[in-house]
């Protein structure tokens, strides 16, 4: 890349992408879905528990380039963060939301669920083991209603699609219209942590089980597809013996990684990103700052890949 100023790079890149049809005009995001020829950026945010906080870093990179997704698809934590982005939240407000919800001095997120002195977490995460998970559905629903402030997919600023898994039928379910909060709750219903969600005659669990990075949902709706895989990698323990939580959820990660590899062989996204996350456990939300720092290199990678595509467009 030529040695240009940061502002000059962003202006030049934005102009190039606008010419290429990858940058939507202001206020035109929802209209993109109705055009015969897809344009704009389709952003797919994958599942991965606390690693999903890296999605916020990817959003920061797009903001630095002056870009905004034309449509979004998400699974699990990607559905949650994608929902907030679609509702108008930027990267700064998302970081503030995470800081408010999960204090950095938590120590152990799961352990804190059992401590009565962690009032903020207990207000949101109440034990509900009998229902099939640790997290109380009503508390989570209340949090979404209070912070999302949108009732239906049609009320969102950016078109959104989220995936869930039908527990009994063993099939993927996609939601992109009607009430938005139940589908997000269903998509994030990680077995053992969140209880299954009963909705529209189905028993629904985590969307990442069958579609970890749902870029297939935006490929035909956008000119450029960006897929963000936050499964990361795991550190080998000194004694080589994982505990119960690590054993269960690392096995889940192995399954997802294989599904993503299979998806990419069939049809890959235009830009596939995998932030260099190592040793982030599924409930490590208290390590938000460390996760942001690990994911930071993905910014330059995304900018290089977008620049390469813009140069290929002939501008």
pLDDT at 290: 96
Catalytic site residue from 39, 76, 91, 187 = 76
3-class state of residue 192 by DSSP: coil
β-strand 224-228 against 271-273: which pairing, if any? parallel
Is 90 exceeded by the pLDDT of residue 315?
no
d(CA 306, CA 38): 17
d(CA 207, CA 187): 5
| Residue reference for tokens 């898994």 | 165
Pinpoint the alpha helices (H) of 44-156: 54-64, 77-86, 91-101, 109-113, 119-124, 137-148
| Residue reference for tokens 């795991």 | 234
Model confidence band, residue 135 (pLDDT cutoffs 50, 70, 90): low
d(CA 229, CA 77): 11
- Helix 77-86 to helix 54-64 angle, to the nearest 10 degrees? 30
Looking from the CA of 155 toward its CB, the CA atoms found within 13 Å total 12
Asked if 71 contacts 43 with a C-beta cutoff of 8 angstroms, the reply is yes
Asked if 46 contacts 213 with a C-beta cutoff of 8 angstroms, the reply is yes
Tokens standing for residue 189? 């219903």
Can you spell out the DSSP letters for 99-129? HHHS-GGGS-HHHHHT-TT-HHHHHH---BG
Strand-pair partners of 190: none
pLDDT at 314: 56
d(CA 46, CA 74): 6
In tens, the pLDDT along 179-225 reads 999 999 999 998 877 889 999 999 999 999 999 999 999 999 999 99
In tens, the pLDDT along 21-74 reads 554 433 333 433 444 568 899 999 999 999 999 999 999 999 999 999 999 999
pLDDT at 133: 54
Is 70 exceeded by the pLDDT of residue 19?
no
Catalytic site residue from 29, 39, 75, 206 = 206
Our measurement of the distance from residue 284's CA atom to the centroid of its chain's CA atoms, rounded to an integer in Å, reads: 16
Q: Enumerate residues 6+ apart whose C-beta is below 8 A from 216.
A: 263, 267
d(CA 69, CA 62): 8
80 or 132: which leads in pLDDT: 80
300 classed as catalytic: no
315 classed as catalytic: no
d(CA 163, CA 171): 10
Residues making up the chain, counted from first to last: 315
pLDDT at 313: 62
pLDDT at 5: 46
Tokens standing for residue 36? 């015969």
In tens, the pLDDT along 282-300 reads 888 888 999 999 999 999 9
The burial class, CB within 10 Å (0-12 / 13-18 / 19+), for 111 is exposed
Q: Enumerate residues 6+ apart whose C-beta is below 8 A from 292.
A: 53, 54, 56, 57, 95
d(CA 30, CA 307): 25
Nearest to 46 by CA among 264, 205, 207: 207
């Amino acid at each position: 890349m030529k040695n240009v100023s940061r502002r000059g790079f962003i202006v030049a890149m934005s102009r190039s992408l606008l010419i290429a049809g990858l940058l939507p005009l202001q206020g035109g995001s929802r209209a993109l879905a109705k055009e015969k020829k897809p344009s704009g950026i389709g952003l797919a945010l994958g599942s991965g528990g606390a690693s999903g906080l890296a999605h916020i870093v990817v959003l920061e990179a797009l903001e630095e380039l002056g870009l905004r997704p034309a449509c979004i698809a998400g699974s699990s934590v990607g559905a949650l963060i994608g929902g907030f982005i679609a509702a108008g939240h930027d990267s700064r407000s998302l970081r503030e939301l995470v800081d408010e919800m999960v204090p950095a001095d938590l120590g152990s997120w799961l352990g804190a669920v059992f401590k009565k002195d962690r009032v903020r977490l207990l207000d949101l995460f109440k034990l509900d083991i009998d229902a099939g998970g640790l997290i109380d559905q009503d508390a989570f629903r209340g949090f979404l209603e209070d912070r999302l402030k949108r009732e239906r997919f049609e009320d969102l600023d950016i078109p959104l699609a989220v995936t869930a898994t039908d527990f009994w039928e063993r099939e993927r379910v996609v939601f992109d219209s009607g009430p938005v909060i139940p589908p997000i709750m269903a998509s994030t219903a990680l077995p053992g942590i969140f209880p299954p969600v009963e909705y529209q005659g189905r028993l629904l669990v985590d969307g990442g089980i069958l579609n970890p990075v749902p870029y297939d949902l935006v490929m035909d709706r956008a000119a450029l597809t960006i897929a963000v895989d936050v499964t990361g990698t795991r550190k080998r323990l000194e004694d080589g013996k994982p505990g119960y939580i690590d054993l269960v959820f690392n096995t889940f990660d192995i399954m997802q990684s294989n599904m993503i590899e299979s998806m990419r062989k069939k049809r890959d996204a235009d830009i596939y990103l995998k932030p260099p996350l190592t040793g982030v456990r599924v409930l490590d939300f208290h390590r938000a700052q460390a996760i942001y720092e690990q994911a930071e290199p993905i910014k330059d990678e995304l900018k290089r890949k977008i620049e390469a595509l813009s140069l290929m467009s002939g501008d």
